[in-house]
Amino acid sequence: MPDPRIVIYGPGSTGLAITKMLCDRGVRPVAAIARTGSKTVGKDLGELAGAGRIGVIVSDRADETLAKARADIAVVTISSYLDDTLYGIFEKVVKAKADVVTLAEEMLYPWVTAATLSRKLHELASAHGVTVTGTGHQDGYWVNLVGVLMATGHKVSQVSGALSWNVDDFGKTLAEQQLVGRTKEEFEAWKKSTKRKPTFGAISLYALAATARLTPTGAISTDTQPDLATSRVYCKALGKYVEPGQLLGYTDTDTMKTKEGITLRISSCGKVYVPGESDFNKWVLSGKRADGTNVRLQMLNADLPTAVTTCATLVNRIPDVLEAPAGLVTIDKLPQLGHRPSLAARSSEA
C-alpha cells in the first residue's frame, strides 16, 4: 500500500511536532492549513517543523487546499472541545472525503458530553464514507494501558488513576486557567461561581468504561482541590513567583460509578512543578485473589514525556483510522493501540 496522503490542519507547536515525526518516518504531509492571520501562512511546513523544506506551503484557504490535496486523512490540532467551530472544521475535511484524526480531548469519547454534535458528526462522516477519531496521550495512558491492566484482575472493585502535568510546559493561558498564584480564598470563590466544561479526566473515564464494557450509572462527579505552595516557586509561564500559601495549581478528581459495581476514578493535577517533580501516570486497581483476599494491581509511568506520547500516539493511530469503518469511531471501537512501522492501511487481514 502507498503511504497515506496527510493534511496538517493546525500547524501550531503540536501540529508541527507531528509533522516532524511524520517526516522522520518518511511520510511527508501533502498540505497544511492554518487560520487566516497565522504567522505560519505562506511558510514551508517542513521548515516550520524543523524537518527541512518539503515544498508544502501553509495555506489559510481550507476548502481550496482540501480540494487540491486529495488527502486520505487530516491531522486536526486546533482546540479541545467539540463545539460548533471544531465541528465546522471537521465538516470541511469530511466533505473533502478525508478521514480525521484529532487531538481534541473531548473527541476521545464525545458521545456523552457533546451528544448532539457527536450524532450529527457520526451521520455526516457515515454519509461521506470517512472516519473521525480522537486520540492522544489519554488513548494510551488513561485508557488502553488501564484497560489491559483491568483484564489481569479478578473482581476489580476500584480503578484509580493519578497523574500530573506541568503548567510551565503549556504557557500563560493554561497557567491562568489553573489559577497559579491565586489565593485559597480566590480559589474557593472561583469554585462556587465557575461553570466548567467536562474535564479531560471525565471524558477519558467514558472511554475507559466503554473499553472495559462497563455501563456508567448517573453523572461523573468532579471534586477540585487546590495545590498550595509551601515555599516560593517561580512560574515560568507567568514570569512571576508563587508565594507560600498561594496556588501552584489544582487537582481535579473525577469519579464514575458503573452498573457492574466498579468505580473508576482519575485525579489530574495541573500545577507549577517544584524541582525534582516530573509528569507521571499511576494507576492502582483493587481486586481479589481466587481465595477472596484483597489484592492490588499497580502501574507507574514515571518521568513521562507527555509531549512525545501525545504526538506519537496520534501518528501510530493513523493506519487504524484509515482502516476503520465510516462514522465517528471512538477508540473503544478501534483495534488495540500498537506500534505501526507502516502508516499505510493494511489489507482486509487487519
Hey, what amino acid is at 16?
A: L
Which lies closer to a second copy via its Cβ, residue 268 or residue 306? 306
Q: How far is the CB of 137 from a second copy (least distance, A)?
A: 7
Q: How far is the CB of 348 from a second copy (least distance, A)?
A: 13
**C-alpha cell of 184?**
485559597
Which lies closer to a second copy via its Cβ, residue 66 or residue 108? 108
The answer to whether the CB of 159 falls within 8 A of the CB of 150 is yes
Cα 328 to Cα 118: distance, rounded to the nearest angstrom? 7
The answer to whether the CB of 246 falls within 8 A of the CB of 238 is no
Contacts 24+ apart (CB under 8 A), 115-119: 117/82, 117/83, 117/84, 117/87, 118/82, 118/328
**C-alpha cell of 178?**
489553573
Q: How far is the CB of 233 from a second copy (least distance, A)?
A: 25
Q: How far is the CB of 71 from a second copy (least distance, A)?
A: 21
Q: How far is the CB of 342 from a second copy (least distance, A)?
A: 7
Which lies closer to a second copy via its Cβ, residue 19 or residue 246? 19
**C-alpha cell of 258?**
458503573
Which lies closer to a second copy via its Cβ, residue 139 or residue 252? 139
Which lies closer to a second copy via its Cβ, residue 159 or residue 235? 159
Q: How far is the CB of 161 from a second copy (least distance, A)?
A: 14
Q: How many CB atoms lie within 10 A of CB 279?
A: 21
Which lies closer to a second copy via its Cβ, residue 230 or residue 298? 298
Q: How far is the CB of 108 from a second copy (least distance, A)?
A: 14
Q: How far is the CB of 278 from a second copy (least distance, A)?
A: 11
**C-alpha cell of 40?**
505560519
Helices (H), 43-155: 45-49, 62-69, 84-95, 115-128, 137-138, 145-151
Q: How many CB atoms lie within 10 A of CB 26?
A: 9
Cα 3 to Cα 89: distance, rounded to the nearest angstrom? 24
The answer to whether the CB of 243 falls within 8 A of the CB of 226 is no
Q: DSSP string covering 85-99, please?
A: HHHHHHHHHHHTT-E
Cα 144 to Cα 61: distance, rounded to the nearest angstrom? 37
Which lies closer to a second copy via its Cβ, residue 18 or residue 321? 18
**Which is it for the CA torsion 319, 320, 321, 324, positive or negative?**
positive
Which lies closer to a second copy via its Cβ, residue 58 or residue 209? 209
Hey, what amino acid is at 256?
A: M
Q: How far is the CB of 298 from a second copy (least distance, A)?
A: 5
Which lies closer to a second copy via its Cβ, residue 177 or residue 301? 301
**Chain contacts with a second copy (rule: CB under 8 A):** 16-18, 20-21, 24, 49-50, 137, 140-141, 144-145, 147-156, 211-214, 260, 287-291, 295-305, 307-309, 311-313, 315-317, 335-342
